[in-house]
Chain A
């Protein structure tokens, strides 16, 4: 047990902290608007050029070969600094681990550097109108024709789907197979002929996600990730990443909790705080710390060879519900000013946080997983 940063880790922290301070681009438009999306892509390039877009990746693909602890430190500093969010997050957090695990050398060499630099921004095409929590109900067909697959069907709730360059999809390549069988993980260029994208306005009015309509859309068979027909297993490896620490690391919530305490201090002229609201603020702050230390313990296990399985669901429920409550507390602190949209990051944050218990597998599904696979309770009879 050693809960202090080593000299090397302190130097690493200071290096990223200094770099972020010196390169902070200021406030840029929401990544869910056309201009904001491109501004966020440029920020990805700035990070990439300095080697800070994907520090945990190998140097050959634009990373720094950071270990898990250094990556957690990087994330803490990143979010604390208040620089823009990551438009590349879907690709880096959800797809990249799958490419590292299942991709051919050619796919790795082609896709990873472009993902790291922001040249390719990725969106996820998994959900369908009839396949949400029950993802194995996927119906979008991809039928082999020569060197291509021909896609027909519909995807929905495709985050970043309105502007992304590429989409990572799960499609049914064996129409006679059912449920988890006969699925294939396919990488689809967003400008493919026969693919129509219709933006869906989110709760906040921004066209953040999209519906995708495939009408005889041809995609090269070279873009299959892993083996044809093995898409479920390939995808589930990424589902672990999605729920786990890679998508929403503790640093994000520690930073939000710090900002919440600052808001609490500033809300009354004399710095005093309503005692019940103060209790909520402190509870959020403590829970962010709890997520932090649980993650450092998890990281030690992973570095020692443990694998993260169903336990990832514990974190997903915890951080997504912390995020909602943290922002709800902020809105209560703002009181009757909370409804004013202009320059209200807390309201934006609240609306975004509300999606957390829904995406990446609803929290009801996560609790089923915890009950059945972590606690060993009987499956549904």
Chain B
């Protein structure tokens, strides 16, 4: 038992954090709202270059062979920077599924010459479908690879994370890919992003209330404000370890059968969704009116928080899954 990240984990995370700070600052997130594709220019190529897209693909297939424990910390950074790209869907869910199925589509996905998103419950409502080249789709008990589909854009509150209704297309089965595992990966990936979003909301709010003066003092010196933010810090503190613990479960199928994995992943999403919901509420309240404006950057994270708290199952739905796993009918 040693619950500790390695130096290698930290270095990989720091590299990606620096890349996002450089290539995906708030201005870039905001700019993506105004574009037709909601992408950040050149970011996808840069992610391919430093190996992020290929991180989870096996080494024999040209990937880095990293595990989920390393990658959830990358996904925290995706949340922290509110990165518009479907990195989680592509690198954390689609690529492992393509690798399991030994799909021909794997090479181009690793290289970043394609973008692949997911329809993990077969609902037909898909994130980033309009810009993606293909979708890994839930079909019956398995997964399939869908291309040349039609999309109808759905206007979402977070325009840097766009959804579309998907119809038709050419579908090829992904034999050997594990649909239940893919679902759990998506849930875990969303949970990790929620942690990063919550941290960003907290950091931004701590900075703001330390600066903003009322009655001749920083508003952050008042207890009512302090206690709001202490509660957010506590929520993040006790949600993040469940995300890492779930990543370990996903990475170690030999000791975690599917029900245990589902339990761990759902615990993580339930706590992470609750934490980011709280962070969003308190961040807005502590900012006051400025936080309620479109012009102020806080809204970029508020909207991502609302989207990902509910995406791939909200807290209540995941507590239901945990209930099943621990024998509460």
Contact = CB atoms under 8 A, between A and B. Distances in A.
A59 interface: no
Nearest to A4: B255
Contacts of B233: 314, 370, 374-375
A379 interface: yes
Contacts of A290: 238-239, 241-242, 267, 271
Given A289-B267, A294-B238, A377-B209, A279 B223 contact: no
Contacts of B329: 265, 271-273
A372 B326 contact: no
A286 interface: yes
A342 B237 CA distance: 39
A239 interface: no
Interface string B210-239: 100000111011010111011101100111
B27 interface: no
Nearest to A297: B3
A380 interface: yes
Interface string B1-43: 1111110010000000000000000000000000000000000
A368 B328 contact: no
A300 B4 contact: yes
A287 interface: yes
Contact of A4 (B1, B223, B226, B320): B1
Interface residues of B, number: 48
Interface in B236-266: 237-239, 241-242, 244-245, 248, 252, 255
Contacts of A335: none
Nearest to A322: B238
Contact of A5 (B1, B216, B230): B1
Interface string A246-272: 000000000000000100110000011
Interface string B306-329: 000000000010011011001111
A371 B245 contact: no
B270 interface: yes
A297 B237 CA distance: 11
Of the candidates B206, B210, B239, B329, the one having the most CB atoms from chain A within 10 angstroms of its own CB is: B329
Interface string A272-297: 11000011011101110111011011
Contacts of B229: 371, 375, 377
Contacts of A380: 221, 223
Nearest to A285: B326
Nearest to B216: A381
B66 to A, nearest CB: 12
B5 A1 contact: yes
Contact of B1 (A6, A272, A286): A6
A317 interface: yes
Interface string A1-30: 111111001000000000000000000000
Nearest to A301: B4
Contacts of A215: none
SS of B interface (majority)? helix
A346 B285 CA distance: 37
Nearest to B217: A381
Contacts of B328: 261, 264-265, 273, 278, 281-282
A378 B218 contact: yes
Given A271-B329, A278-B323, A299 B270 contact: no
Contacts of A352: none
Nearest to A313: B230
Contacts of A281: 323, 328
B105 interface: no
A367 B6 CA distance: 31
B69 interface: yes
A304 B4 contact: yes
A293 B245 contact: yes
B167 to A, nearest CB: 35
Contacts of B245: 3, 293
A218 B191 CA distance: 60
B242 A289 contact: yes
B221 A282 contact: no
A286 B271 contact: yes
A318 interface: yes
B4 A1 contact: yes
Given A278-B323, A317-B234, A2 B220 contact: no
B1 A69 contact: yes
A227 interface: no
A42 interface: no
Interface string B55-73: 0000000000000010000
A146 interface: no
A367 B239 CA distance: 18
Contacts of B209: 377
Contacts of A264: 328
B327 A283 contact: no
B273 to A, nearest CB: 11
A271 B323 CA distance: 13
A300 B5 CA distance: 10
Contacts of A6: 1
Contacts of B9: 1
Contact of B241 (A294, A367, A376): A294
B270 to A, nearest CB: 6
Contacts of A291: 238
Interface in A335-381: 364, 366-368, 370-372, 374-381
Contacts of A381: 216-218, 221
B172 to A, nearest CB: 36
B36 to A, nearest CB: 40
B226 A376 contact: no
Contacts of B230: 317, 366-368, 370-371, 374-375
Interface in B131-185: none
Given A371-B227, A377-B226, 6 more contacts: A261-B326, A265-B328, A282-B328, A286-B242, A299-B3, A314-B238
Interface of A: 1-6, 9, 69, 261, 264-265, 271-273, 278-279, 281-283, 285-287, 289-291, 293-294, 296-297, 299-301, 304, 314, 317-318, 364, 366-368, 370-372, 374-381
24 contacts: A1-B244, A3-B1, A3-B248, A265-B327, A272-B329, A282-B270, A282-B319, A283-B270, A285-B326, A286-B242, A286-B271, A290-B241, A291-B238, A296-B3, A367-B223, A368-B226, A368-B227, A370-B233, A374-B233, A375-B226, A375-B229, A376-B210, A378-B221, A381-B217
